[in-house]
Amino acid sequence: MLRQPFHDDWFVETLTPGRRTRPAGPLTLPHDAMMYEIRQPDCANAHNTGYFPGGRYRYTKRFTAPEEWRDRCVLLEFEGVYQRSQVLLNGRSIGGRPSGYAEFRVPLTHELVIGGENLIEVVVDNADEPNSRWYTGSGIYRPVHILTGPELRIGPAGPRARTVSIDGADATVEIRIPLENSANRALHARVRAVLSGPDGRRTQTSSELTATPGSCEVIHMVRIENALVWSPDTPALYDIDARIETLEGEVDASQDRFGIRTIDVDSLYGLRINGVSVKLRGAAIHHDNGVIGAHTLEAAERRRVRILKESGFNAIRSAHNPASRALLRACDEMGMLVMDELADAWTRPKVNFDSSLEFPQWWEADLEAMIEKDFNHPSVIMYSIGNEIGETATPAGVETSRTLAGRARTLDPSRPVTNCINAFLNLVAPADEQKVQSKAAAARAAGRQEANKNLILLLNLMMGAMTKIMPRLLKLRAVDMKTRDAFATVDVAGYNYMASRFRGDARLHPSRVMVGSEDPATQTVAIWRDIADQPHVIGDFVWTGWDYLGEGGLATIRYNDRARLYQPYPALAAGTPNIDITGHRQTQSYLNEIAWGLRAGPHLAVQPVNRSGEKQTISSWRSTSSLQSWSWEGYEGRNAVVEVYADADHVELRLNGVTLGRERSGASVGYLSTFRVPYEPGELVAISFDSNGAELGSTSLRTASEELSLRMTAETTTLRADGQDLAFVTVEVTDSAGTVRPLADRLVKIDVDGPATLLGLGSGEAITEEVFTSSEHSTYFGRVLAVVRAGSREGSVRVTATAEGCEPQYVDLPVTGDAHAA
């Protein structure tokens, strides 16, 4: 079927009582309605969404159905609508989906007015709160397409490709082409498929058949000589072009991309891609894109994958919902491996109105949608059927796990299945299902914010506050008893916060393959060292690789404050320590690379000198808030905590040419050497040495001068006039030489002139009352990020930044070409 964007000229109105609005627009999808809500300290979503409330919304679009659609199948395809949606065409309901993440299609054919005006309405109900443990966004936040096809057509899923084998230089690929015949008679046709490699070589196959009314599938086994295989290091992609020909000529076509690669997992060799063992350096991520919220746009997803890859990660876990198509395309092209996850809840709610309400009726359709979406993506190497599902400790939950895993294998036998289990949750989760459901129903009826609030808080407090005790607790025999049956239902056992069990469980279950499916960033170094000689452990996923909105303040280091799991309003983001919500790398990400053997260092960072001497409230998810700066004006003489990270025998620290000391370095001390020195402006230098005293490397930080400037850096030089493209522009407060001044924060105003709009503006600060939808935002440690969205016209865009005490700065971005017209 022909797939075309259906993004333009939509209107949206808020239907929430007390917040009703008139239709606003026209706007271009995707659109995150939650970003435009006013954050509320007392909203029921609370810290879960960073104090953004949900709501009810109606999206509308009027369009004319062209004459060529007569006698054709017409479908409307949604990649994601959050959530509990209903779709109407000309006033009549034609479908919808409870899930906020599952792809779905609705038929337009029989209700269309051909040659006349039609009205599409999408009613989105995200008003029951809380329904998630993280920021979800609201509305039609992922792309929408219109699909059209003749009576005999290729099904909307398009052709599917699976690598059967790789034999030396050649590969055998199975091509499945779904056909649909909506005529009332059999139709004779030829089905062709052309596979084009990145080297330009083409392989063709064809067959003839008589398609009876209904659905069928054409299967071709194709031998590709001198195949170029897909791997994280060489992400070679093939194009597949499938076409149908009848006596009338070519009637339909469908295209997609795939990669030739094999996956094997076992406890002896671990994970192998094309026969080569791979350890997963994993990043768990939520689906929001920081300062633009849940807007799912290709440029944002590509940028995130690129930065994660540059930071040393080779795998992503989509936590805890199916990943977007755009993310998977980026992972295919850049060589990033993916664990795609189905759900955060099965039948037991974690918050009052989560997807557990619809799980029994919809799990199979949602699983089918995820696997259909993922099938051709070589980056997807594993399916996760759930995250921290407490009922997996019960016989009924084990049977559910077996059912889900079995259905996933039936739909796609080429990928292993995992279930990400938290043993502590299984230990304390109640066994009485009826009691759990009654408690949840009572909580909803009484308006209490979380059905299992005490259980979830207990879980997270234990994980966060008992770092030293938890490993011993999790080695209890009862943990194995509460997890072994569920783990027996899947191909890879997902261990959430259970790294202390890897070695012992290998003795208990020698054939079990394990993955650290979720662990705090503070344990990445220790876990990576521990699993180096454990082939049955295929890798580890950090919580999280990229900071996210919601779970407000979870991983922040607080000063002169009491310990608590989440922070009160205005906590906005979790504050995790690898890459912040603007895409700026933090100290932990450099330490990871050293621990993974990808760089030797040294990396030099300094804890904020302006907070020196204050009492810190440490989070188990973050070990430091240090940054690469030696510019702390006004704090001369104050003790500075200097961190040097290196894979070396020892490191030396010098300030203005004077040696301040030497410290041990390397794996035995977690690659971290710490110095405490009085702050003095100038140049700070760290040098690493091997055991023989030979210099291995050096790095330095220099104090900024007193001049004050703005520096603007655009990550792209042009924009496409398609309404979808983005430009990411970093604005920094610096001196005249470009050195960032972290204590010179000020309000930055952004103006966008030309055929583009400001989609988001914000900083990496986790706790703030500022919003992303304003044209003004304060820098945080000297930085703020502006995201500019292209319009549909060609022209020139000027992005101007102004701030008190600084000369205005600008960048020009030409907007060229309309990608939709190609």
**Closest Cα to residue 378, out of 242, 529, 198?**
198
Cα 206 from chain centroid? Answer: 38
Residue 456 has pLDDT above 90, yes or no: no
Query: Of the candidates 258, 283, 306, which is a domain's last residue?
Result: 258
Q: Do 661 and 732 fall within a single domain?
A: no
| Res 449: pLDDT | 61
| Rounded Cα distance, 659 and 676, in Å | 13
Chain centroid, CA 448 distance in Å: 30
Residue-wise pLDDT tens digits, 389-445: 999 999 999 999 999 999 999 999 999 999 999 998 998 888 878 888 888 888 888
pLDDT at 821: 32
User: Are 18 and 134 contained in the same domain?
Assistant: yes
Shared domain check, 161 and 144: no
* Residues spanned by the domain of 751: 709-821
What rounded mean pLDDT belongs to the chain? Answer: 95
Cα–Cα distance for residue pair 490/189, rounded to 1 Å: 41
Q: What is the pLDDT, as a whole number, of residue 261?
A: 98
pTM exceeding 0.85:
yes
Can you tell me which residue has the tokens 């303040």?
Answer: 553
Q: What is the CATH number of the domain that holds 738?
A: 2.60.40.10
Pair (300, 439) in one structural domain: yes
- Tell which phi-psi region holds residue 71, choosing left (phi > 0), alpha (psi between -120 and 50) or beta: left
Is the domain of 329 the same as that of 415? yes
Q: Is residue 574 part of a domain?
A: no
Contact of 314 with 582, CB cutoff 8 Å:
no
**pLDDT tens-digit map of 551-581:** 999 999 999 988 788 999 999 999 999 999 9
Q: Are 526 and 267 in contact (CB under 8 A)?
A: no
Domain boundary (224, 239, 258) is at: 258
Average pLDDT over residues 60-83: 97
3-class DSSP state for residue 784? strand
- Which pair of structure tokens corresponds to residue 657? 């040419």
Count of structural domains within the chain = 5
Instruction: Give pLDDT tens digits for 282-340.
Output: 999 999 999 999 999 999 999 999 999 999 999 999 999 999 999 999 999 999 999 99
Residue 796 has pLDDT above 60, yes or no: yes
Q: Residues 415, 376, 515, 453: what is their CA dihedral angle, to the nearest 10 degrees? A: -110
Q: Which of 760, 759, 762 is nearest to 779 (CA)?
A: 762
What end-to-end distance do the CA atoms of the chain give, in Å? 17
CATH number at residue 514: 3.20.20.80
pLDDT greater than 60 at residue 162: yes
For residues 139 and 171, state if they share a domain: no
User: 544 and 439, same structural domain?
Assistant: yes
345: nearest Cα among 83, 58, 40, 95? 83
Same domain, 243 and 315: no
Enter the tokens of residue 114: 């051909």
Rounded-to-integer distance, Cα 492 and Cα 513, Å: 5
The amino acid that residue 534 corresponds to is Q
Amino acid 620: pLDDT: 85
Check whether 822 has a pLDDT greater than 50. no
- Note the pLDDT of residue 820: 38
pLDDT at position 464 over 90: no
Residue 223 has pLDDT above 80, yes or no: yes
Residue 416 preceded by cis peptide, ω within 30: no
What does the pLDDT read at residue 445?
A: 84
Provide the 3-class DSSP secondary structure of residue 663. Answer: strand
- Beta strands 380-387 and 337-341, pairing class: parallel
Q: pLDDT tens digit string along 621-636?
A: 999 999 999 999 999 9
| 585 falls within a domain | no
Q: Are residues 368 and 409 in the same domain?
A: yes
Virtual CA dihedral for 284, 289, 290, 295, nearest 10 degrees?
A: -150
In whole angstroms, give the CA distance from residue 760 to residue 630: 30
Residue 791 domain flag: yes
pLDDT at residue 472, rounded to an integer: 77
Residue finishing a domain among 149, 174, 202: 149
State how beta strands 558-559 and 603-606 pair: unpaired
List the structure tokens of 518: 């979720």
What CATH code is carried by the domain that includes residue 88? 2.60.120.260
User: By percentage, how much of the chain surpasses pLDDT 70?
Assistant: 97
Say whether both 649 and 750 belong to one domain. Answer: no
Does 591 map to a domain? no
Mean pLDDT throughout 694-704? 98
**pLDDT of residue 363 exceeding 90:** yes
- Average pLDDT of span 590-595: 98
**Whether residues 298 and 224 fall in one domain:** no
Query: Six-digit token pair at 289?
Result: 């894109």
C-beta separation of 806 from 708 below 8 A? yes
Q: Are residues 410 and 321 in the same domain?
A: yes
Distance between alpha carbon 479 and the CA centroid of its chain, in Å?
A: 30
Tens-digit pLDDT profile for residues 88-100: 999 999 999 999 9
Q: Nearest Cα to 121, choosing from 92, 100, 97?
A: 92
Q: From the CB of residue 629, how many other CB atoms can be counted at a distance below 10 Å?
A: 23
pLDDT at residue 339, rounded to an integer: 98
pLDDT digits (tens, 9 = 90+) for 34-43: 999 999 999 9
The band of 460, judged by pLDDT with boundaries at 50, 70 and 90, is low
User: Does residue 184 sit within a domain?
Assistant: yes
DSSP-assigned letter for residue 324: P
Q: Is residue 616 part of a domain?
A: yes
Q: Examine the pLDDT at 725 and tell me if it is beyond 80.
A: yes
pLDDT digits (tens, 9 = 90+) for 626-662: 999 999 999 999 999 999 999 999 999 999 999 999 9
Res 294: pLDDT: 98
Q: At 367, is the pLDDT very low, low, confident or very high (cuts 50, 70, 90)?
A: very high
Least confident of 396-405, 448-457, 495-504: 448-457
